[in-house]
């Protein structure tokens, strides 16, 4: 949700949109349960040092309605652009989300975008869109790319002074505990003030022949062993 565009400039509207989603159902029906439920920030909940203490956001239509009331609304109409070129099943995902949001008085119209038009006509342009982002190895990399004021890939166009204040010191902090404290706060700000709904992190599911060897541990930032599979897999003799 672009926070510089109405109605998403109101954080109550953004909170309503987040609470209108049933992440368990989207994970089950969109990712066939091959995903890890997210909590509205771009850093995996598997990194428990930063995120385990944050309460998991759940589907709560009544609370979503309350937030709409705080924004002076009884209901909300919104278009959401999506393209299956971004992620297979993206349009179906938005359709399911639209069905879930009806209980909160939110009417979402899925807009199917062509594969060759998404990055030119939708990304960083439309007020509400489906997107996908590959993993990054550290909180600083993903937050600097997507949340820092003026970041090149700031899809929500959010600017939060406290978030910016924490980001560089957290990166430079050598004490692991103190660094975790700073990142916990950045996660909380992204979750409760940001414009991104992060429903889940799609797991990479692989199949291979017995004649193919692979390392015991594989990368999880990109497909095929972090895009290094062609170097790290081998044919067994």
Q: What is the pLDDT of residues 186-204, one digit of tens each?
A: 889 999 999 999 998 888 7
From CA 232, how far away is CA 209, in angstroms rounded? 15
* Dihedral angle computed from the Cα positions of residues 117, 205, 31 and 83, in that order, rounded to the nearest 10 degrees: 0
State the Cα torsion 60-62-63-66 to the nearest 10°: 160
Residue 195 is given by DSSP the state S
pLDDT at residue 50, rounded to an integer:
63
Report the chain's C-alpha Rg in angstroms.
Answer: 19
Torsion of CA 145, 41, 220, 85, to 10 degrees: -70
Whether a cis peptide bond, with omega within 30° of 0, leads into 7 is yes
**Distance from C-alpha of 76 to C-alpha of 29, rounded to nearest angstrom:** 25
Q: What is the pLDDT of residues 19-53, one digit of tens each?
A: 999 999 999 998 888 888 889 987 766 665 666 77
Mean residue pLDDT across the chain: 90
Write out the chain's pLDDT in tens, 237 residues: 999 999 999 999 999 999 999 999 999 998 888 888 889 987 766 665 666 777 889 999 999 999 999 999 999 999 999 999 998 899 999 999 999 999 999 999 999 998 888 999 999 999 999 998 887 778 888 889 989 999 989 999 999 999 999 999 998 999 988 888 888 888 899 999 999 999 988 887 878 788 999 888 888 777 888 888 889 999 987
């Amino acid at each position: 949700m672009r926070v510089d565009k109405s109605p998403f400039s109101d954080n109550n509207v953004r909170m309503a949109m987040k609470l209108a989603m049933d992440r368990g159902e989207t994970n089950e029906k969109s990712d066939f349960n091959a995903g890890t439920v997210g909590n509205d920030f771009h850093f995996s909940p598997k990194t428990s040092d930063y995120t385990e203490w944050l309460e998991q956001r759940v589907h709560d239509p009544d609370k979503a309605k309350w937030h709409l009331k705080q924004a002076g609304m009884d209901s909300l109409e919104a278009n959401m652009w999506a393209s299956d070129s971004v992620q297979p099943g993206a349009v179906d995902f938005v359709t399911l989300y639209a069905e879930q949001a009806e209980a909160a008085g939110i009417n979402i119209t899925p807009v199917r975008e062509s594969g060759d038009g998404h990055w030119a006509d939708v990304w960083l342009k439309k007020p509400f869109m489906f997107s996908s982002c590959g993993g990054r190895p550290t909180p600083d990399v993903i937050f600097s790319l997507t949340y820092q004021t003026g970041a090149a890939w700031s899809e929500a166009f959010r600017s939060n002074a406290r978030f910016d204040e924490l980001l560089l010191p957290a990166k430079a902090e050598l004490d692991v505990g103190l660094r975790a404290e700073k990142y916990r706060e950045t996660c909380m700000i992204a979750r409760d003030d940001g414009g991104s709904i992060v429903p889940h992190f799609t797991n990479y599911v692989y199949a291979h022949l017995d004649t193919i060897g692979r390392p015991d541990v594989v990368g999880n930032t990109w497909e095929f062993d972090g895009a290094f599979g062609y170097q790290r897999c081998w044919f067994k003799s």
